[in-house]
Structure 1
Amino acid sequence: MPSTKKIMYFLSSAILQVAAVGILGYGMSTDWVQSKMACGPLGNEIFNGSATIKMGLFNGSEKKEGCPRFDTNNVVPVFAKLEQIGGAAVALQGLVVGLLSLSLLGSAGSILITLYNTVSNPYETYMGPIGLFACSGMSAISAFLALVLYLINVLVVRIGMEIAELKNDSNLKDEEVQLLVGFYLLLPYIAADILTTVLVYLYSHEAYTQRREQEKPPRMLQKTS
């Protein structure tokens, strides 16, 4: 049976990972970016309207005001639109979703390992700290790569502008990009993965130090003359 100290360390790590999964799950379901542009009729240099694209990983919305003449609100199926654009846009979006799915898988592994360690002592096996380090590390790295790739898709490929231009019914310029809550939730998710690793490392280091102390031979008493 694990010690009380071990149970506290690993149970705290499990709670952190459950919270991290909730954070990432909510983040993947909400909006990630808003792209706003000045808008005007085709063949005219007067930009007196605006177009706003708000996107999550899978769905979004498009709102046009005076662009080109009437106000409109449309649902945007993100992957369907990006497939029309093709090239790097849809590939990067697919990679982002794939990496975040890998992060969730890693978090599930971390939860399983931490809970198992609260009732057992598989210390030197893959179900011990080594397995936890691997799962949490994979989750954090995958989430960080997803963050970087999404920034590239938004700021370099400019998927907001690309989606707004698909209809080809107006001129667009001066795109302003604002990252939203879904994107920023990756940061506390990564932090939770790192903190989970730190907690288990601290326990492992302390347990290792105690074992080394116990394995030391007793000191020989010096004979006094």
Structure 2
Amino acid sequence: MGPIGVYVCSSTSACLSLLVLIIFVLNITVTTMAEELVPSIGAIASLLLTNKTSQMQVGYFLVIPNMVLSLGAILLIYLYEHTAYTHRREQERPTEDAPKEIMMY
């Protein structure tokens, strides 16, 4: 897949994870969809709800390690590519560090 593919997949995963976190929190706090959904079910339409609360459980918080690991993969690939590029550049010019007498012959 190469480093570009890992960059694309990991950055897409991290961005979508952040988007999911934001949209879910906005959906829970701003809208009243969760409170309106339960009484709208046909069999329990006459249900009267009190103490309406919505909570974020474990599945929501498992998105955070996914985002962190995606960003970690991007950082790891970047550091590997940077090290490989630096090593390649050092191998291309081995005579720069040589003494001048050796370079003259």
Q: Shorter-chain TM-score category?
A: 0.7 to 0.9
CA RMSD of aligned residues (A): 2.0
**SS of structure 1 residue aligned to 2:99:** coil
Correspondence for 1:145 among 15, 19, 27: 19
Aligned ranges 1:22-41 → 2 under 5 Å: none
1:22-49: CA deviation from partner (whole Å, max 9, x where unpaired): xxxxxxxxxxxxxxxxxxxxxxxxxxxx
**Structure whose alpha-carbon radius of gyration is higher:** 2
1:51-109: CA deviation from partner (whole Å, max 9, x where unpaired): xxxxxxxxxxxxxxxxxxxxxxxxxxxxxxxxxxxxxxxxxxxxxxxxxxxxxxxxxxx
Whether 1:194 and 2:71 are equivalent positions in the alignment is: yes
Correspondence for 2:30 among 156, 165, 178: 156
Q: Which residue type is aligned with residue 221 of structure 1?
A: P
Aligned ranges 1:1-225 → 2 under 5 Å: 127-166=1-40, 167-216=44-93, 218-219=95-96, 221-222=99-100
TM-score, scaled to structure 1 = 0.39
Distance 1:159 1:209 in 2: 54
1:135-184: CA deviation from partner (whole Å, max 9, x where unpaired): 10001101111121111221111222111232542443543222101111
Distance 1:158 1:191 in 2: 30
**SS of structure 2 residue aligned to 1:172:** coil
Distance 1:154 1:133 in 2: 32
Runs (4+) of structure 1 exceeding 6 A deviation are none
Shift of 1:190: 0.7
Q: Which residue type is aligned with residue 140 of structure 1?
A: A
Shift of 1:217: 5.2
* Structure with the higher fraction of residues in helix conformation: 2
TM-score, scaled to structure 2 = 0.77
**SS of structure 1 residue aligned to 2:54:** strand
Unaligned runs of 5+ in 2: none
Count of residues in Structure 1 that have an aligned counterpart in Structure 2? 97
Distance 2:58 2:16 in 1: 19
